[in-house]
Amino acid sequence: MQQRRFDGGRSACYLAGNSEPMRAFFTSVAVLSAPAFAQEVVKLELSADDRMIYSKTSFEVTSGQKVSLVFKNTSTKGEKAMKHNIVLLKPGTPIMAFAPKCLAAAATGYVPTDKESKEKMVGSTKLIAGGQSATLNFVAGEAGEYLFFCSSPGHFDKMHGKIVVKVK
């Protein structure tokens, strides 16, 4: 079998024959390139208590970034505290138009599960009581404003904010 060189004769990497140099070459390229492709997760922290307000109303991330939105209910009343969550909407979805669907979704923690609603959401956390936390992990989509709110009945008008996604 004829051996052809990968690079016109300048390396020990062959298409046929001893494949060990080829394997070593590609392994080293993969290891050296890994940090270029690795991406750190951006951690956003948000909290709320019985006053029905979020601790922050705006965040900024970059398109394509991995995001971990950590939400804590800081009420000291435990299970007796008001329960809160986060529903993150895709750009162009107004809270006022989406919130009524949440009221009809009591069985699923006030987060609608129909196909149309799911297409308008990036994701959501479950309702959490005082002292609990929940995390929403996602990859920041296209540039724009992603609105978030608490879907617990009567909360969305006070508990809302946005995540602004900037172009890379």
7-19 pLDDT per residue, tens? 444 444 444 455 5
This model's pTM is above 0.85: no
- Contact yes or no for 29/23 (Cβ under 8 A): no
Q: Mean pLDDT across the stretch 134-139?
A: 98
Does the pLDDT value for residue 4 go beyond 60?
no
The region of weakest confidence among 39-43, 118-122, 164-168 is: 39-43
57, amino acid identity:
T
pLDDT of amino acid 18: 53
Does the pLDDT value for residue 107 go beyond 80?
yes
Mean pLDDT across the chain, nearest whole number?
A: 85
Beta strands in the chain (DSSP E): 41-48, 58-62, 66-73, 87-89, 121-124, 133-139, 144-149, 160-166
| Percent of the chain at pLDDT exceeding 90 | 73
